[in-house]
Chain A
């Protein structure tokens, strides 16, 4: 890897090394672009640092710097993101779904919905498809470029119910080496701890795919434990440098020809808003006032069921199976816009006891945690439990946004981000409908008891720097380039115009690979 002198100007400075930053860094470095990557968290060694323990890994990898929650739908932790090289690709399940064509045209397809701030994406599926193929190849998506996974026991229970209902449950497209080694990484051992970091590296992460490849080019200087504080501009209004804090608290300034922020949908708008100046009084790239707005986090919930016979759902790839029958947009028959997926999920005993029937510490203020006989019944049937996650499109509204706290600051003096969420009625209708479908599936499979489980802390954080064709209503253009600052780009889920229903990592990756091509083209043309 490269080791540029501190403050030595480079071609591109990338903030964040998750799905967006990691893919972008790999592509730029492979083409000879000199990159400094600033990562707020440490660099974990999967073989030394990853443990098969839920609470230990949560405390080790989660972004635990203050993020406050506000609004009617609060969880104990507003968001669940990873702070470390690889970002949330350490924690993610591996589900790699392409968006559907109509989801790029949410406003056109769904029409004007009261209280929603829908827009159409400025790109189409056809335009993104070549980049989906590239992303799937880098990530090794089983079911696309590798043989599909073989379903685990949790999936087989889902399938049993789905078959009786005429639904199509099948193993999902997963960025996991489900059937054999791929790209120098080994086959999945089906240990079942996908969310705790994959020790064998069978589940794709930028930590051990994109970043090492970029380092081998000699063009990447990766700086872990480097917290970006603000992006500075020159008198012409171009981005000039990034001020970041080293672990010792010392402030450094990194200059670059192009600056890319890939800090996720919470930290990216936070950084832009904290970069306000006399030139950009509302925050950098925020002339539209849309930075931090249009936040979406997917409509999520879960269904769990207890069965008369053992399931042992903890075995194997956590998000192995999927039902796609409800992914389409069928408002007349369902009473809501957009669609959702049912995907297998299972938690270890430590998380299951807390999250299946959560109390106010990990859910809404009126929630009451299970204790006594109901808890005993659930936990003594642990081996007989099956689970599925509901993930669907949620609507952007004026009541969902990320902002800066007016007075509270973190240890760097940065204002603390506040995540405000209030469900749109469409979100509530979809959740109720989806819970009923989850119950249908498990009851058809023979469940003796089912649980409607509310959302976990949000892992799919999207939309706070919306992509759009109109600079007055969006933050970035079709390439993630900010409308206001030509050499400033965004490469994470915050550019999503609308959430769509699909797990977002594959789309974030495809957009980042596409953005890399654009940046290199513009650099060659001296437009950047």
Chain B
């Protein structure tokens, strides 16, 4: 295991927070920031892969998955290791997809994309991409809220007394 790969997970946090802090127009800002990182077809492949890694169907969760794909594309511009990972995974997916279905990965239906993902999932690049996606996506407060997790209740911005009076010791079943 390369320690470098573990530590690059940490790099996601700052960008996630930045994205979270940009209310409203974040989508356009993120797209603009990632411009030039990937060709349009590779961007579609990355988005499709991210959607299969975190295949939530709830509309709010699905929209946030798109943000993660864009965030990764933006980070690629200044992170050569991540750029190599993403390009490698896209190449593997498209290669397998053409061999199996004679189409690029982004052109497949989700069930077919899962088949292709299972074929390449043992590769180090794919595993690294999964970690990058999870570390970014599930660090988003909007994702927490959509999953039913309220997040901090006792930090600097939320001095609300923790869960002391909010049922920390009550299990109703």
Chain A interface residues (CB < 8 Å from chain B): 47-48, 50-56, 58-59, 64, 66-69, 74-78, 150-153, 156-157, 160, 187-193, 199-200, 309-312, 314-316, 348-350, 352-354, 359-365, 368-369, 371-373, 375-376, 379-380, 382-383
**Given the known A-B contacts A153-B168, A360-B124, are A349 and B143 also in contact in the complex, defined by CB atoms under 8 Å?**
yes
- Which residue of the partner chain, among A69, A359, A382, contacts B131 with CB atoms under 8 Å? A359
Q: Is the CB of B169 within 8 A of A375?
A: no
Q: Is the CB of B153 within 8 A of A383?
A: no
Contacts of B170 in A (CB 8 A): 153
Q: Is the CB of B162 within 8 A of A188?
A: yes
Q: Is the CB of B139 within 8 A of A360?
A: no
Contacts of A372 in B (CB 8 A): 52-53, 55, 114, 117
Q: A51-B152, A76-B6, A376-B56 are known contacts; what are 11 more A-B pairs with Cβ within 8 Å?
A: A66-B3, A152-B168, A190-B164, A199-B154, A360-B127, A362-B131, A369-B131, A371-B52, A371-B130, A373-B55, A382-B149
Give the total number of A-B pairs whose CB atoms are below 8 A apart: 182
Q: Is the CB of B148 within 8 A of A349?
A: no
Q: Is the CB of B169 within 8 A of A51?
A: no
**Given the known A-B contacts A316-B168, A349-B144, are A53 and B6 also in contact in the complex, defined by CB atoms under 8 Å?**
no
What is the minimal beta-carbon distance from A304 to any residue of chain B, in angstroms?
15
Q: Is the CB of B148 within 8 A of A190?
A: no
Task: Tell me if B38 counts as interface (CB < 8 A to partner A).
Answer: no
Q: Is the CB of B55 within 8 A of A365?
A: no
**Given the known A-B contacts A54-B139, A76-B6, A349-B143, are A369 and B127 also in contact in the complex, defined by CB atoms under 8 Å?**
yes
With CB as the reference atom, state the residue of chain A lying closest to B127: A359
What is the minimal beta-carbon distance from A350 to any residue of chain B, in angstroms?
4
Q: Which of B14, B17, B121, B127 is packed against the most chain A CB atoms within 10 Å?
A: B127
What is the minimal beta-carbon distance from B118 to any residue of chain A, in angstroms?
9
In the bound assembly, the distance between CA atoms of A48 and B157 in angstroms comes to: 11
**Given the known A-B contacts A349-B144, A361-B131, are A368 and B121 also in contact in the complex, defined by CB atoms under 8 Å?**
yes
Contacts of B153 in A (CB 8 A): 52, 191
Q: Is the CB of B55 within 8 A of A376?
A: yes
Contact with A along B98-138 (1 / 0, CB 8 A): 00000000000000001001000110100110110011011
Q: List 7 A-B contacts (CB under 8 A).
A: A51-B155, A77-B7, A153-B170, A189-B154, A309-B172, A354-B131, A368-B127
**Given the known A-B contacts A52-B151, A64-B7, A369-B131, are A75 and B117 also in contact in the complex, defined by CB atoms under 8 Å?**
no
Contacts of B117 in A (CB 8 A): 371-372
- Which residue of the partner chain, among B5, B54, B155, contacts A376 with CB atoms under 8 Å? B54
Contacts of A64 in B (CB 8 A): 7, 10
What is the minimal beta-carbon distance from B112 to any residue of chain A, in angstroms?
13
What is the minimal beta-carbon distance from A353 to any residue of chain B, in angstroms?
4
What is the minimal beta-carbon distance from A75 to any residue of chain B, in angstroms?
7
- Which residue of the partner chain, among B1, B12, B114, B173, contacts A360 with CB atoms under 8 Å? B1
Q: Is the CB of B163 within 8 A of A74?
A: no
With CB as the reference atom, state the residue of chain A lying closest to B137: A353
What is the minimal beta-carbon distance from A83 to any residue of chain B, in angstroms?
14
In the bound assembly, the distance between CA atoms of A53 and B152 in angstroms comes to: 8
Contacts of A156 in B (CB 8 A): 169, 171
Contacts of B149 in A (CB 8 A): 314, 348-349, 382-383
Kindly identify, within residues 58 to 89 of chain B, every residue whose CB is under 8 Å from any CB belonging to chain A.
none
With CB as the reference atom, state the residue of chain B lying closest to A59: B10
**Given the known A-B contacts A55-B135, A56-B17, are A76 and B5 also in contact in the complex, defined by CB atoms under 8 Å?**
yes
In the bound assembly, the distance between CA atoms of A59 and B6 in angstroms comes to: 11
Q: Is the CB of B151 within 8 A of A69?
A: no
With CB as the reference atom, state the residue of chain A lying closest to B143: A349
What is the minimal beta-carbon distance from A147 to any residue of chain B, in angstroms?
14
Contacts of A364 in B (CB 8 A): 1
Contacts of A53 in B (CB 8 A): 13, 17, 139, 152, 155
In the bound assembly, the distance between CA atoms of A310 and B5 in angstroms comes to: 34
What is the minimal beta-carbon distance from A225 to any residue of chain B, in angstroms?
20
**Given the known A-B contacts A361-B6, A361-B127, A371-B121, are A193 and B147 also in contact in the complex, defined by CB atoms under 8 Å?**
no
With CB as the reference atom, state the residue of chain B lying closest to A446: B173
In the bound assembly, the distance between CA atoms of A68 and B4 in angstroms comes to: 10
In the bound assembly, the distance between CA atoms of A180 and B71 in angstroms comes to: 44
Task: Tell me if B161 counts as interface (CB < 8 A to partner A).
Answer: yes
In the bound assembly, the distance between CA atoms of A163 and B98 in angstroms comes to: 56
Q: Is the CB of B167 within 8 A of A51?
A: no
Q: Is the CB of B3 within 8 A of A76?
A: yes
**Given the known A-B contacts A55-B9, A368-B122, are A382 and B53 also in contact in the complex, defined by CB atoms under 8 Å?**
no
Q: Is the CB of A68 within 8 A of B171?
A: no
Q: Is the CB of A52 within 8 A of B139?
A: no
Contacts of A311 in B (CB 8 A): 171
Listed from nearest, the 5 A-B pairs whose CB atoms lie closest are A189-B162, A76-B6, A191-B154, A52-B152, A191-B162
With CB as the reference atom, state the residue of chain A lying closest to B52: A372
Q: Is the CB of A361 within 8 A of B122?
A: no
Q: Is the CB of A354 within 8 A of B127?
A: no
- Which residue of the partner chain, among B9, B13, B147, B162, contacts A379 with CB atoms under 8 Å? B147
Contacts of B166 in A (CB 8 A): 315
Contacts of A67 in B (CB 8 A): 3
**Given the known A-B contacts A76-B6, A151-B169, A368-B127, are A380 and B1 also in contact in the complex, defined by CB atoms under 8 Å?**
no
Contacts of B173 in A (CB 8 A): 309
**Given the known A-B contacts A190-B163, A193-B152, A359-B127, are A382 and B147 also in contact in the complex, defined by CB atoms under 8 Å?**
yes
Contacts of B6 in A (CB 8 A): 76-77, 361-362
With CB as the reference atom, state the residue of chain B lying closest to A369: B130
What is the minimal beta-carbon distance from A160 to any residue of chain B, in angstroms?
8
Contacts of A56 in B (CB 8 A): 13-14, 17
Q: Is the CB of A150 within 8 A of B162?
A: no
Contacts of B163 in A (CB 8 A): 152, 189-192, 315-316
Kindly identify, within residues 5 to 57 of chain B, every residue whose CB is under 8 Å from any CB belonging to chain A.
5-7, 9-10, 12-14, 16-17, 52-56
Contacts of A382 in B (CB 8 A): 147-149
Contacts of B122 in A (CB 8 A): 368
With CB as the reference atom, state the residue of chain B lying closest to A74: B1
Q: Is the CB of A76 within 8 A of B1?
A: yes
Contacts of A59 in B (CB 8 A): 10, 13-14
Contacts of A362 in B (CB 8 A): 6, 9, 131
Q: Is the CB of A349 within 8 A of B138?
A: yes
In the bound assembly, the distance between CA atoms of A188 and B153 in angstroms comes to: 13
